[in-house]
Amino acid sequence: MTDDEPQPDRLRHDYSPWLFWTEADEEARERQLRHQRELGRRAGYTIGERCFVSGLASVQNEELRLGRWTSVAAGAHLTGSLRTGSECTMNAYTVIRGTVELGNSVRIGAHTSLLGFNHTFSDPDIEVHRQPLTSLGIRVGDDVWIGSHVVVLDGVTIGDRAVVAAGAVVTRDVPAGAVVGGNPAKVIKWRVPQLAPSASARTDDLADAVAEFADTARAQAEEILARCFEPSLGGGLFVDRPGAAPTVRAQCDAIEIADLLLGRAPGQLPAAEQVERLRSWQDPKTGMVGELLPDGNQRLPGDGLFDPDAAYHVLSVGYALELLDSAFPSPVHVVAEAGPDRLIEGLEEQRWETNAWNAGHWADVLGTAVHWNRKVGHPGRPGAAEAVFGWLLTHVDPMTGMWGSARPEDGLLQIVNGFYRVSRGTFAQFGLPVPYPERVIDTVLTHSRDVRFVRPDRQNACNILDIAHPLWLTRQSGHRDDEIVQLAGGLLRDALGHWTDRLGFGFRAPHPATVGDPATTPGLQGTEMWLAVIWLLADLVGVSEALEYRPRGVHRPIPAP
């Protein structure tokens, strides 16, 4: 060979092993067969006809059974028990550990990991590496393509003829014929359309899941309420979670949960006593309900529209009283006595462009106060309610159907969350159609793709409620209905998985990445909100009847009677 001739690529077959038996010369073939004979001397090793195992691969298995025409490329790291069918390929830098079984014709892309074992970490006082390992094993069917940079976790089964897109993190079983992608991996389409479950089958599965969830929640409701009741505080008060201070909202959340799951008031106190307490908390001067102090006593609310610490109580106390067949003893005076100019001034004082969530909350409180006042015979100053709706109709953005503007730091989050609050207390409460419903749907569906807020490990009850309710409120338009049903089904499955047995829901979804975050601790607020979210999502999918409950309080879907 002269200097001008091309040099042979000595590593070509180590990194492209499927070419070996059609290109390699006799010397290379003999070298490979010798390598295989050496491996075959190890106990538990069998290597089929026409296999290739790169000498640059790390093969440390306790058991290795390679089917015919199977190849292992350079940089692969194999440990544990690996059994393959015929014509499988493990490309460069594949990691396969633990107990793994591959069918026939499985292709695994470079830098992909199949991890058929897991660490335990149940004892926080012992280092993780000193705690036992578990292994459920990974099973891959026939004719499966697993792309590059995929991670498949222990316990997963990947069905025949499935495809796993590059970069996916597979945490649950992959149906036969499906194409999955993302983190965590979900079905994005079907390689074999005839294997896709019918809409009715998917609905039946969800109906069974929500029915099972509802049965569990009802069976544990008493225990969840008892866990958050402090009999030594103020004659007996609820706290959001053990160790927390008592709040007005906690008393109301307990009433909402008991109504949803038990069909009655919480059993910790007589219903009449709970009614009297809530009614006594209304300040006769302002009509607002001040916050509780740590000892269970109450602070008087501030004057005007609206004391921030008392504002939400217009909703929570008003609805709790309604669930107990009662009502505020007095109107919300700060609203009943305000004229059209004052209410418009209040709306314009809100920071819609930078804090649409809080501005929407203010409008929600205003609309709800108008509703309660009408129920007790105080419709307010002439033209006041009409001025509120007129302002909202003339200030909505026709491009988004919402109030306020998107922000670089959190995208559409503020305006979507603000829309829920505005519409809940005004248009939804009074049974009026929202303006630009199709634009609302477009905006919410765009927001639903923002992984910062909808990825399962980043979900909280507020953000998912603020997706579910606007889509439910505008569902009669039929706009993008298939997308809505698909989204609602996925979020519903996520939500059902957020339940903690015997404790309920935390405000934020539990996840290994959020351990220690107080918002993930189950409590009354999270439980009440997620129960409502689950109903809304289930109704969008068409399986809400399986829950055998429907929110009647703060998050009730239907207009006020």
Residues marked active site are found at 119
Nearest to 316 by CA among 266, 226, 230, 250: 250
Q: What is the DSSP string of 151-167?
A: EE-TT-EE-TT-EE-TT
Q: How far is CA 479 from CA 418, 439, 441, in A?
A: 21, 9, 7
Residue 174 contacts residue 141 (beta carbons within 8 Å): no
Name the β-bridge partners of 59.
78
- Please state, in angstroms and rounded to a whole number, the distance separating the CA atoms of residues 311 and 474: 27
Q: Phi, psi (5° rounding) for residue 210?
A: -70, -35
Amino acid at 45: Y
Show the beta-strand stretches assigned E in 427-527. none
Contact between 134 and 154 under an 8 Å Cβ cutoff? The reply is yes
* Beta strands per DSSP E along 92-198: 95-102, 106-108, 113-116, 118-119, 133-134, 138-140, 144-146, 151-152, 157-158, 163-164, 169-170, 178-181, 186-190
Q: Give which of 74, 29, 71 is closest to 51, Cα–Cα.
A: 71
Residue 242: asked if its preceding bond is cis (omega within 30°), the reply is: no
Q: What is the dihedral of CA 83, 87, 92, 98, to 10 degrees?
A: -10
Residue 197, amino acid: P
Interatomic CA distance for residues 435 and 423, integer angstroms: 10
- Tell me if residue 190 falls in helix, strand or coil: strand
Distances (CA, A) of 504 to 4, 388, 510, 526, 531: 75, 38, 11, 8, 10
